[in-house]
Amino acid sequence: MEQYNKLIPKAFFLTSGVGMANDQDNAFDLALRDAGISECNLVKVSSILPAKAVVIDQKALTPGEITFCVLSRAEGKSGEVIGAGVGYGWLFHNPNSTNLRDQLDFGIICEHHGHYSTEFLRNKIQEKLYMMAESRNRDLTLKKLEMKSVEVDADNFGSVVAALVFVLSHE
């Protein structure tokens, strides 16, 4: 069988940001800057964490770096409430084993966004994660959620982002 290099993340971090400007595109750029991921070429991916990936503190990324992430994004105009969130958990099987690493299958990631408060986002993301686990017939250990919700300033556009960012190599 032919061998090839698989892009399997070794680590990941969560981040979020808010931006306000007189133009929607600039508000989005400012939200990415606030989250620390504006200088990257973001590639949106879906919802699976490799079992061996570890959560890390946010790290500086190289400008121009191709950066894989699960991105949640909400936009709005003056006076609107906007929110974005992302969360993850680990899926387990083999409840007879006493070693958690032996039971770990992989992780799942979920995002939600819109005109919502952080409390609504928290509940919705948790609900979606548990539904994903149930559909896979696995037990879920919920780990972390990252959310931002704001009311857009007068005479501005707003953007909110939340992201789980994959790191392909980790020292």
CATH architecture of 11-167: 3-Layer(bba) Sandwich (3.50)
Rounded distance, CA 169 to CA 97, Å? Answer: 30
Rounded distance, CA 12 to CA 165, Å? Answer: 5
> What is the structure's pLDDT at 92?
85
> What is the structure's pLDDT at 95?
57
pTM beyond cutoff 0.85: yes
pLDDT in tens, 153-169: 999 999 999 999 999 88
- The burial class, CB within 10 Å (0-12 / 13-18 / 19+), for 137 is exposed
Rounded distance, CA 81 to CA 151, Å? Answer: 4
Give domain limits for the chain.
11-167
pLDDT in tens, 90-135: 998 755 556 555 577 899 999 999 999 999 999 999 999 999 999 9
pLDDT in tens, 69-97: 999 999 999 999 999 999 999 998 755 55
pLDDT in tens, 22-40: 999 999 999 999 999 999 9
